[in-house]
Amino acid sequence: MRQANVKILGGGTRDRWHGAKTHDSTEYPLMPTSDGCPRLNCLVRKKQIFKPQQRPAKRHGPVVSTIPSDQSEHEDLNAAPISLESNPQVLEWELIKTNAALHCTKVTESESSSDWLAPDEEEGKKFSYSFGLVFSCLGCVLGTGNIWRFPRIVATASSDQGKSSKSLFHLGVALLPIRLVGPANHHGVHDWSIHPKLTSNRLSKISWIKVSVGRAYFSVVVGWCFYYFYVACAWPELPSTEPESKQIFENFIGTYWPLGLHTLDLLICGIAVFKGVKGIEIANSCMVPVQLTIVISTFYWSLSREYADVGIKFMFALDWAMLANPQVYVEAACQNAFDTAAGMGLFSAYAAYFTRQTGAVRFGTLLPMVNNLVSLICGLMLFATVFSALIQTQPTLTIPQIVTIMKESGPGSTGLTFTWIPVLMSRLGIAGRILCALFFLCLSFAGVTSMIGYIELTARTIQDFGVKRQYATIAALIVSFLVGVPSALSIDVLQNQDFVWGFALMISGLCYCVLVIRYNPVKYRRVIVNDFGLKDWKLPFIWIILIVGVVPLEAVGLICWWAYQNIAFINDWYLIRVQSLMTTFLEATGLRTGFTYSLGLIFSCLGCVLGTGNIWRFPRIIAVASSDKGCLTFILVWVVFLFTWSIPLIITEYTLGRFTRGSPVVAFYKFLGEKFFWVGSWITAIAFLISAYFSVVVGWCFYYLYVSCTWAELPSTEPESRDIFENFTRTYWPLVHHTLCLMICGITVFKGVKGIEFANSCLVPIQLIIVIIVFYWSLSREYADVGIKFMFTADWSTLLDPKIYVEAACQNAFDTAAGMGVFSAYAAYFSRNTGAVRYGILLPIFNNLVSLTCGLTIFATVFSTLIQTSPTLTIPQIVAIMKESGPGSTGLTFTWIPVLMSKLGILGRILCALFFLCLSFAGVSSMIAYVELTARTIQDFGVKRIWATVTSLIISFVVGVPSAVSVDILSNQDFVWGFGLIVSGLCYCALVVWYNPMRYLRVIINDFAINDWRLPFIWIFIIAGIVPFEGLSLIAWWVYQNIAFTKWYQIRAESLAIILIEVRTPSPFSTQ
């Protein structure tokens, strides 16, 4: 075993693996660290902690053993070993020692930056010469953003009197010096690990995600440039009029050429990036000088045109009234961020090849100035040529009419450059053709150099995860191609992507500000910028004021102002449109979960919650709970329960499982003692009983997948579809499919955590892709907006109905799996480095977004189909039909989806098969978690894994048989055990309250975790106050309503008597 003797405070030596011996011969066991820990003895004296065996035992608390002195260095030291025989208070002792050991790797203020900063780059992994470095950095910023995007944004945001946008120049200049993160650690933007204070900041990942995913559409625009270069060189004649040119552009985007050229652009960029910094340097050194030469030549030619001065004067005319329009500021800030690449993370990737001698501050100051000057030149060139050509050909046109024509040149003025340049050049004969070819060659070069930066950032980030350079580049190209396909096929999608991700760059800029603020701006300027750089400009103090005060104020102010204007003055802001607040919110926040943690772990945890509860149960519950006026009140209550019920309980489950490394039965036994062993059994039994009937629903999905693929025709009417469902439920096929589902889950669970991880990593991504495809298709249906408006219309009188609260709470518990215990079972595989708090917050939010998406899909399709087929139906009649689709609206999804898809021919059959394939995958991924919980619980009783899995499958099959035979029994089980989840949630609250909420927050959550979010004090108030109040109030209110207004004593599917009978059934995991 490796030994390491380290000097400690007060003399003596410390054996890194076998504990510590101080000057007074007192021995303390020590966790192994990457370095010695000279602060440990001081910390021990300050805390006045005695040896573990001398500490008195308290009444309650988890039992944790110390780490043995002979522990192997190959064991998982992040695990939390559990022992019932050891002292219950050893945990806090271990945490103090562990935190001290971890702290010894941190750096004090007095230590030199050279002690912890990364070494110089290896030879061959840096820029070879100054011009190559300059051209590569210029290639990042000099792109189609200057030539194509800036002129069209100026035209779109201008009034009839002139352009009055505010140039937020200091946004770009202030952010660009942060590129010093790159040379400091020689990694991409995802890994700001140059200093311990930066290692916990995960906001860095947002930046490269926004670029790698949000900028995939940019490759499509570069493909347009390739096509127009071909037109300029090969077509017999250039278009001579604006309608003719616009027709060429529209015909081009209506073909598959954009997709082919999108692929060509990515291949060119891939070749350059594949060779690393050398390839990047050569490509930019060849293309950027040619690009600048062409821009300057074309600019001077445009100034020589008659009436060019009219366009230039218009650009520099002010319309002060436009300053009251927030969109002017939003467009200016987004364009500046897009134009200078500030906040994208590109410079961090390129700066990874910098040395300390590279003038990063010089580049960060001069390059954006040069870039914005080039943008201004391109804007002047285009405005001069457009005004000159229109005034000469149509002298009667006024300036407002010319501006209107420029704004109408394609969706969002997207085709402005591609419409007018060929027309203008056609008037110059052979010289015009040469100039046109040179212009689009310049535009192609500009796009390729920028795309090289985007691909390099994505590839560099993937490479930093341990992937080889070649495979990282290939992965980056594949992701960029797939994400860019929708933009290549639809210009409306491209316009939407340009709007959303241009706006999101302000958020990325804020992330950089957070990094500097969290690290300490003064220290960042001194250590990271001025002290680290050699032969560079010194960054003045004014930069701190800009990065800490001005930039965040601008960004937050613009975002809030724009959101207020959308909500207050734009009708239907909540609809999913090309440019709407809802679209921006969904697209800009829905990607935050990618590449942040282990993908297998993320997909496994998502598989727990993303199931038929999202796709099958949520739409039918919202239909049942809605009034004739709308569903918004239910949705609002449902969202409130997400933050005041589901998230606090899920955090409790994750942290409890991570700490005890066992099932809920073991967790409650260790925390509360043998007398409360039955509480963990109750929670496990609830989840088990839900899984027993849930597998029947998954079997329905298997059957409808078979129907979609093999039947001659899908049902075309609602009665016909309902007959298929009812005939199916009367046969033995539900029992067969119930068995099939359990066998699939058993095979996965039998292999343990590896099988679970592999299965979910395959099923969950496919499920999400299918959900998104069907969702976007449903929104394209005529009258889909009627269903969406109904979902977001409130009927405030329903707030007086207790059933809406019960349904919302039960659905949230079912949807997020809060209180089921499945997270405790999965968290048993967590290490202390796993972000349990992060998972507990982000995954339920993402899950509910998926549920809302599925609800919108079903409502949009049902309303669209019924209105088209039966135009005389009113909204209350449509709602009544949705409520009557099967017992308890059980067959809503299975009734309507085949009917809707039948109207689309072969495309509908494919979509229907994909939908039920998605539903099957969702059900299997959730069932895996239920079976794992049951098997893990049986395994904790000393049964081997194989026999625990077989036993759980047999019991699930037997208990699920009644639900497979009768849909009425299934409806009853769904009602009873969905309600029982509220009681399970109260059990978790009771554990925290019994243990002491303050101590649970400190010891079990915050101190035990490594590299996780710190849970704030508000969680104690919610878990110990609000959650119990909600649970008890809902139960009491619902019981009162049943006793007062119903025959509660009768045995019916949904009655108080049936709940009392079923919940008192002995748990299969309890002991007598």
Q: Give the pLDDT score at 539.
A: 85
Distance of alpha carbon 813 from alpha carbon 646, whole angstroms = 6
Write out the two tokens for 222: 């570069």
Of 1064, 558, 972, 637, nearest in space to 811 by CA = 637
> What pLDDT sits at residue 1051?
59
Q: What are residue 82's phi and psi, to 5 degrees?
A: -115, 135
> What is the DSSP code (8-state) at residue 5?
E
- Does residue 10 surpass a pLDDT of 80? no
Only one residue has tokens 């218009």, namely 314
Half-sphere exposure of 424 (CA within 13 A, CB side): 27
Helix, strand, coil shares of the chain as percentages rounded to 5? 70, 0, 25
Q: Could you list the residues known to form a binding site, using ranges.
A: 607, 614, 847, 926
DSSP 8-state secondary structure symbol assigned to residue 1048:
T
21 DSSP assignment: E
| Cβ atoms of 171 and 509 closer than 8 Å | yes
Class (C level, CATH) for 602-1063: mainly alpha
Cα(22)–Cα(14) distance, integer angstroms: 8
Separation of CA 443 from chain center: 33
Mention every residue, 6+ apart, whose C-beta is less than 8 A from residue 27: 19, 20, 21
Six token digits for residue 300: 């001077």
**Sequence-separated contacts (24+) of 146-149 with Cβ below 8 Å:** 146/339, 146/371, 146/374, 146/375, 146/378, 146/446, 147/295, 147/378, 147/417, 147/442, 147/443, 147/446, 148/221, 148/225, 148/417, 148/443, 149/335, 149/338, 149/339, 149/498
Query: How much is the average pLDDT of 227-250?
Result: 85
Predicted confidence (pLDDT) per residue in 893-925, tens digit: 787 778 877 877 787 788 888 888 888 888 888
Is the per-residue pLDDT at 29 higher than 60?
Answer: no
Mean pLDDT of the chain: 72
Q: What tokens does 975 get?
A: 């009602």
Looking at the DSSP assignment, which residues form a beta bridge with residue 21? Answer: 27
Q: Annotated binding site for Na(+): which residue ranges?
A: 607, 614, 847, 926
Whether residue 653 contacts residue 827, with contact meaning beta carbons closer than 8 Å, is answered with yes
First to last CA, the chain: 49
Residue 214 confidence (pLDDT): 53
Between residues 334 and 86, which one has the greater pLDDT? 334
What pLDDT does 80 receive? 42
Alpha-carbon distance of 79 to 76, in angstroms, equals 6
* Separation of alpha carbons 215 and 543, rounded Å: 29
- Give the number of other Cβ atoms within 10 Å of residue 45's Cβ: 11
In this structure, of 455-469, 484-498, 594-608, 670-684, the range with the lowest mean pLDDT score is: 594-608
Q: What local confidence, expressed as pLDDT, does residue 125 receive?
A: 53
* Coil, helix or strand at residue 13: strand
CB atoms within 10 A of CB 10: 11
pLDDT at 183: 42
pLDDT (0 to 100) of residue 453 = 78
- 944-998 pLDDT, tens digit per residue, is 888 888 888 998 899 888 888 888 788 777 777 767 778 888 888 989 998 889 9
Question: What letter does residue 354 receive in the DSSP assignment?
Answer: -
pLDDT at 273 over 60: yes
- The two three-digit tokens of residue 21, written as one number: 């011996």
Contact 835, 1012 (CB under 8 A): yes
Give tens-digit pLDDT for 371-389. 788 888 888 887 887 788 7
pLDDT of residue 1052: 58
Task: Indicate whether this model's pTM tops 0.75.
Answer: no
pLDDT per position as a tens digit, 851-869: 888 888 888 888 888 888 7
Rg over alpha carbons for the chain, rounded to the nearest Å, is 32
Q: Dihedral, CA atoms, 851, 856, 857, 862, nearest 10 degrees?
A: 130
Report the candidate in 263, 260, 383, 217 with the shortest Cα–Cα distance to residue 316.
383
CATH 1.20.1740.10 maps onto the chain at 602-1063
Q: What is the pLDDT of residue 3?
A: 40
Which residues 6+ apart lie within 8 Å of 619 measured at CB?
854, 855, 857, 858, 859, 892, 893
Instruction: Look at residues 245, 233, 292 and name the one whose alpha carbon lies nearest to residue 433.
Output: 233
Local confidence band at 886 (pLDDT 50, 70, 90 cut-offs) = low
pLDDT given at position 584: 56
Q: What is the pLDDT of residue 821?
A: 80
Q: Which residue has the higher pLDDT, 189 or 354?
A: 354
| 794 has pLDDT over 50 | yes
pLDDT > 70: percent of the chain: 70
Q: For CA atoms 298, 304, 310, 312, give the dihedral sign.
A: positive
pLDDT band at 195 (very low <50, low <70, confident <90, very high): very low
C-alpha torsion sign, points 533, 536, 541, 547: negative
Q: Which of 336-345, 586-595, 876-885 has the lowest mean pLDDT?
A: 586-595
Q: Are 745 and 924 in contact (CB under 8 A)?
A: yes
Cα separation, 549 vs 558, whole angstroms: 14
Is it the case that residue 1060 has pLDDT exceeding 70? no
- C-beta of residue 909 within 8 angstroms of C-beta of residue 723: no
Whether the CB-CB separation of 102 and 88 falls below 8 Å is answered with no
Residues 6+ apart with CB under 8 A from 119: none
State the amino acid at position 146 in one-letter form. Answer: N
Instruction: Name the CATH architecture for the domain at 130-583.
Output: Up-down Bundle (1.20)
